[in-house]
Chains A and B, each alone.
Chain A
Amino acid sequence: MSWILILEQSLNGLQFGLMLFLLAAGLTLVFGIMDMINLAHGSLYMLGAFLASMFVQLTGSFLAGVLLAIPATALLGMVLEVSVLRTLYARDHLSQVLATFALILIINELVRLAWGSDAALPMPAALSGPVELLPGLRYPSYRLVIIAVGLAVALLLYFLVAKTKVGMLVRAGASNREMALAMGVNIRLLFTLVFGVGAALCAVAGAMLAPLLAVQVGMGENILILAFVVIVIGGIGSIRGALVGSVLVGVVDTIGRAFLPILLGAFFQPRVASAAGPALASVMIYLIMAIVLYFRPQGLFPARG
């Protein structure tokens, strides 16, 4: 039945969207609080995947490998923040773009030196089979785990940002940096901390997506742009916006890829439809972003009052 297909693709979209959220959440905080364009965010995602691959091979356990990769990536992220990025906060966006672009080049080559151009991270055997969610709907259990992890991290992040003292400071920083500074918030420490959390989230996404996608140098570049699209749609600095934006982008992209060729096939020749479908699906998320920006230049959930 076709509704089963639609449901399955929606779940795929949700799964992709939640992983996108992990990237976008860190990016939106860095962007919102520090007013910093960090193109190297995708490199942390790549580092997370490569580290996870290494640790999984070392320990022989998927869970242990991923759990080791997360703090390792967070540490690398904080080192990066303290050593290079910290000096860029006061600079204009142009310098930030240039410096973090340089960091992409550097990190790509360092990863290539350390691990080679690609790495393997096989799916844990226990999770490789499908489960029957509904009669007739068999869904890969690993993807379900990704959805569960994504939701759990989103909840945790919500709790962290909305209910704790640190979260309050983060929100204060995102809505008005100067005022937070004037009230005596230790912004430097807060920045490093936020950066570490962002890097950890990158590692979760990188490690969880690795068995589904290829672990390779350059994997961060394309998903980075998607994460930027998400935070611009959601409103820079807003976690809630990042969540809504991610799920929107994930679902629209996945559903579009699955059904636009079929939809176009009803009107055009199959050859044309199979070529134009995926392209149109890729274009659609950018189209959504352009439309959102045109009508709501601050995004759907503006963080600044």
Chain B
Amino acid sequence: MRKVFLVILLLLAFPVAMQWLGYLFYVSFASRVLIYAIAATSLNLVLGYGGMLSFGHAAFVGAGAYVSSILVAEGVASAWIGWPAAVAAAALLAWIIGAISLRTRGVYFIMITLAFAQMMFYLVNSMKAYGGDEGLTLPRRAELGLGVDLGNEVAFYYTVLAILLAGLYALHRLAHSRFGRVVVAIRENEARAQAIGIPVYRYQLVCFVIAGAAGGIAGALLASHGKYVNPNVLHWIQSGTLMIMVILGGVGHLWGGVIGAAVLLGLEHLIADHPIPWLAQIAPNYQQHANLGVGIVLLLIVLFAPQGIARLLERKRNARP
């Protein structure tokens, strides 16, 4: 518990420290990490707690991003309308996709969720009125009111942080509620859960919809953060990236999504923007190939730390008496 407060304290102090050091860019970067943390955490609810291997989570992030962006583009700039609308749209989409997909199992579930996400990807690509494949540039971020200017990087950071922490707390409560335990029970043994009278399909669908809705808010924040949205937020590579964040961080671990997002984006940024002198001497252009390093690290993690980083940290701690 002390560790959690320490992490929260560090997250709260981060923009102040960066402002003091004059690295305001990192506040914006940290906001991006936190937004991906929300998206990955929402996927973790389905993937980790529910055991449903959804390969189409980008559809919900994308739906949230597009619905909120279209509202801003049409002149409805208030976040109090745009963000709930994004959540509602993502939830509705998740309900439709989930209702059909959850009738299948295993590999087929992976593929059918992927198929639905691809459908959304092409659908958005064809929306010429809202940029088509070139994407949609927004004149400004959403407006929160209450004297908070989201155009300010620090204010935006704290807004995202508040939503992330609220989400994590909700996930923590959910995981320890009756609902959460039932969902985990279904993951562990579906046939047994069915046999003792649990309506498996209904529980899984509700879990899927909650995760989709949370993905929607991440999408709205993502679009607002970059003041830009394009169909690539729905591409299957995006679903794959979110999945990787979850697996990297820790499947079914409360902090898994947060750790995964921070490590993956941090790694990308570190390799691309911070030259290592001795490596640059051997291979001058190595930073253009940042993904090579990311790929190798990912491969090593899956081969040698298959439980994710969160579990690795815990195991170390538990190993010491």
Complex CA–CA separation, A108 to B293 (angstroms): 12
Complex CA–CA separation, A84 to B111 (angstroms): 24
Q: Determine if A103 and B299 form an interchain contact, defined as CB atoms under 8 angstroms apart.
A: yes
Determine which of A31, A84, A91, A109 lies in contact with B306 in the assembled complex, contact meaning CB atoms within 8 Å: A91
Interface size on B, residues (CB 8 A): 43
Determine which of B111, B122, B251 lies in contact with A282 in the assembled complex, contact meaning CB atoms within 8 Å: B122
Check: A138 CB closer than 8 A to any chain B CB. Answer: no
Contacts of B172 in A (CB 8 A): none
Determine which of B107, B114, B291, B296 lies in contact with A225 in the assembled complex, contact meaning CB atoms within 8 Å: B114
Check: B247 CB closer than 8 A to any chain A CB. Answer: yes
Interchain nearest-CB distance for A300 vs B (Å) = 13
Main secondary structure of the interface of B (DSSP, over half): helix
Q: Determine if A221 and B237 form an interchain contact, defined as CB atoms under 8 angstroms apart.
A: yes
Chain A's closest residue to B291 (CB) is A105
Q: Determine if A279 and B126 form an interchain contact, defined as CB atoms under 8 angstroms apart.
A: yes
Main secondary structure of the interface of A (DSSP, over half): helix
Interchain nearest-CB distance for B299 vs A (Å) = 4
Contacts of A108 in B (CB 8 A): 291
Complex CA–CA separation, A236 to B104 (angstroms): 14
Check: A99 CB closer than 8 A to any chain B CB. Answer: yes
The verdict on A95 contacting B302 (CB below 8 Å), with A279-B126, A282-B122, A283-B122 known, is: yes
Which residues 240-298 of B have a CB within 8 angstroms of A? 240, 243-244, 247-248, 251, 289, 291-292, 294-296, 298
Contacts of A110 in B (CB 8 A): 292
Q: Determine if A102 and B112 form an interchain contact, defined as CB atoms under 8 angstroms apart.
A: no
Determine which of A99, A229, A287, A289 lies in contact with B303 in the assembled complex, contact meaning CB atoms within 8 Å: A99
Complex CA–CA separation, A109 to B243 (angstroms): 21
Chain A's closest residue to B240 (CB) is A101
Q: Determine if A101 and B244 form an interchain contact, defined as CB atoms under 8 angstroms apart.
A: yes
Which residues 71-126 of A have a CB within 8 angstroms of B? 84, 87, 91, 93-95, 97-99, 101-106, 108-110, 112-113
Which residues 116-159 of B have a CB within 8 angstroms of A? 116, 118-119, 122-123, 125-126, 128, 132
Q: Determine if A293 and B289 form an interchain contact, defined as CB atoms under 8 angstroms apart.
A: no
The verdict on A290 contacting B296 (CB below 8 Å), with A94-B53, A98-B247, A98-B302 known, is: no
Q: Determine if A97 and B240 form an interchain contact, defined as CB atoms under 8 angstroms apart.
A: yes
Interchain nearest-CB distance for B87 vs A (Å) = 25
Interface size on A, residues (CB 8 A): 45
Determine which of B100, B119, B299 lies in contact with A102 in the assembled complex, contact meaning CB atoms within 8 Å: B299
Q: Determine if B115 and A103 form an interchain contact, defined as CB atoms under 8 angstroms apart.
A: no
Contacts of A31 in B (CB 8 A): 107
Q: Determine if B126 and A275 form an interchain contact, defined as CB atoms under 8 angstroms apart.
A: yes
Contacts of B116 in A (CB 8 A): 286, 290
Interchain nearest-CB distance for B294 vs A (Å) = 6
Check: A297 CB closer than 8 A to any chain B CB. Answer: yes
Which residues 213-240 of A have a CB within 8 angstroms of B? 221, 225, 228-229, 232, 236
Contacts of B106 in A (CB 8 A): 93
Which 10 pairs across A and B sit closest by C-beta, in order of nearness?
Answer: A279-B126, A105-B295, A102-B298, A109-B292, A106-B295, A282-B122, A102-B299, A286-B115, A275-B128, A105-B291
11 pairs, A vs B, C-beta closer than 8 Å: A93-B106, A94-B243, A98-B298, A101-B298, A102-B298, A109-B295, A228-B111, A282-B118, A286-B116, A286-B119, A293-B112
